Amino acid sequence: MFDTLLIANRGEIACRVIRTARRMGLRSVAVYSEADAEALHVALADEARLIGPAPAAESYLSIPAILEAARASGAQAVHPGYGFLAENAEFAEACGEAGLVFVGPPPGAIRAMGSKSEAKSLMEQAGVPLVPGYHSSSQDLAVLERAARVVGYPVLIKASAGGGGKGMRVVEQPMDFDTAVAAARREAAAAFGDDRVLLEKYLGRPRHIELQVFADGHGNALHLFERDCSIQRRHQKVLEEAPAPGLTPERRAEMGAAAVAAARAIGYVGAGTVEFLLERESFYFMEMNTRLQVEHPVTEMVTGLDLVEWQLRVAAGEPLPWDQEELELRGHAIEARIYAEDPARGFLPATGRLVYLRFPETGPDVRVDSGVCAGDTVSPHYDPMIAKLIVRGEDRQAAVRRLRVALAGVQALGVTTNIAFLAAVAAHPAYAAGEVDTGFIARHAMDLLPDAEPASDEVLGLASLAVLQQRRAEADAQARRSGDPYSPWHQTAGWRLNVETHSRLMFHDGDREVAVTVRYRPGGYQLVLPGGEVEARGRLEASGELLAELDGHRVRATVVRDGHELNVLTGPRAHRLVLHDPLTLGAAAEAGGGRLTAPMPGRVAEVHVKPGARVARGAPLLVLEAMKMEHTIAAPADGRVTEIHFGTGDLVEEGAELLALELEET
pLDDT at 590: 34
Q: Quickly state the pLDDT bin for 235 (edges 50, 70, 90).
A: confident
494: in domain? no
> What local confidence, expressed as pLDDT, does residue 365 receive?
98
> Residues 641-652: pLDDT tens digits?
999 999 998 888
Look at residue 245 and tell me if it is in a domain. Answer: yes
- How many domains does the structure of the chain reveal? 6
Same domain, 337 and 359: yes
Q: Are residues 361 and 321 in the same domain?
A: no
**CB contact at 8 A, 230 and 279:** no
Asked if residue 587 has pLDDT above 70, the reply is: no
Asked whether residue 392 is domain-assigned, the answer is: yes
CATH of the domain at 607: 2.40.50.100
What does the longest C-alpha to C-alpha distance in the chain come to? 93
- Domain match, 251 and 270 both: yes
Q: Name the most confidently modeled range: 253-262, 586-595, 627-636.
A: 253-262
Residue 563 pLDDT > 90, yes or no?
no
pLDDT, position 619: 83
The pLDDT value given to residue 219: 95
For the residues of 191-214, what is the DSSP string, one character each?
HHS---EEEEE--SS-EEEEEEEE
Boundaries of domain holding 31: 4-103
Among 201, 228, 250, the domain-final residue is 201
Q: What is the pLDDT of residue 585?
A: 38
Confidence check: pLDDT of 665 > 80? no
Q: pLDDT by residue (tens digit) across 481-497?
A: 766 665 655 555 554 44
Per DSSP, the residues of 289-349 read E-S--TTHHHHHHHH---HHHHHHHHHTTPPPSS-GGG----SEEEEEEEESEEGGGTSEE
Same domain, 173 and 255: no
Residue 29 confidence (pLDDT) above 90: yes
pLDDT (0 to 100) of residue 599: 75
| Residue 472: predicted pLDDT | 85
Could you give the CA distance from residue 545 to residue 541 in angstroms, rounded to a whole number? 5
Q: Which has the higher per-residue pLDDT, 299 or 620?
A: 299
Model confidence at 81, pLDDT cuts 50, 70, 90, reads: very high
Domain final residue, candidates 330, 350, 381? 330
Instruction: Return the DSSP state at 391.
Output: E
Q: Could you tell me if residue 589 is inside a domain?
A: no
Nearest-angstrom CA–CA distance, 462 and 468 = 10
In a shared domain, residues 118 and 251: yes
Contacts of 620 (CB under 8 A, 6+ apart): 608, 632, 633, 634
Spatial separation of the C-alpha atoms in residues 550 and 554, rounded to whole Å: 6
What distance in Å separates the CA atoms of residue 664 and residue 348, rounded to the nearest whole number?
28
Q: Identify the three-state secondary structure at position 622.
A: strand
Q: Which of 6-20, 391-405, 567-581 has the lowest mean pLDDT?
A: 567-581
Check residue 584 and give its pLDDT.
37
We report the CATH number of the domain holding residue 365 as 3.30.470.20
Residues 196 and 228 in one domain: no
- In this structure, is residue 492 part of a structural domain? no
Structure confidence at residue 101 (pLDDT):
98
Residues 378 and 407 in one domain: yes
461, part of any domain: yes
Residue 140 has pLDDT above 90, yes or no: yes
Q: Give the CATH number, domain containing residue 178.
A: 3.30.1490.20
Residue 134 above 80 pLDDT?
yes
Instruction: Indicate if 540 and 646 belong to the same structural domain.
Output: no
Residue 642: Cβ within 10 Å count:
13
270-279 sheet: strands from edge to edge? 282-289, 270-279, 207-215, 221-233, 236-242, 332-339, 385-393, 366-370
Beta strand 77-79 with 4-7: parallel, antiparallel or unpaired? parallel
Residues with catalytic roles: 291
pLDDT band at residue 586 under the 50/70/90 scheme: very low
Contact between 407 and 381 under an 8 Å Cβ cutoff? The reply is no
Is the pLDDT assigned to residue 592 strictly greater than 60?
Answer: no
Residue 594 has pLDDT above 70, yes or no: no
Residue 490 belongs to a domain: no
Of 155, 183, 201, the domain-final residue = 201
Residues 385 and 415 both lie in one domain: yes
pLDDT(627) > 70:
no
- What is the average per-residue pLDDT within 335-360? 92
User: Are 316 and 349 in the same domain?
Assistant: no
600 and 561 both lie in a single domain: no
Residue 459 CA to residue 559 CA, distance in Å, equals 10
Tell me whether residue 489 is in a domain.
no
Question: At 25, which CATH number?
Answer: 3.40.50.20
- Judging by DSSP bridges, how do beta strands 282-289 and 270-279 pair with one another? antiparallel
pLDDT reading at 588 higher than 50 = no
Shared domain check, 390 and 444: yes
The pLDDT value recorded for residue 330 is 96
What span, in angstroms and rounded, lies between the C-alpha atoms of 413 and 569?
9
The string of pLDDT tens digits covering residues 33-46 is 999 999 999 999 99
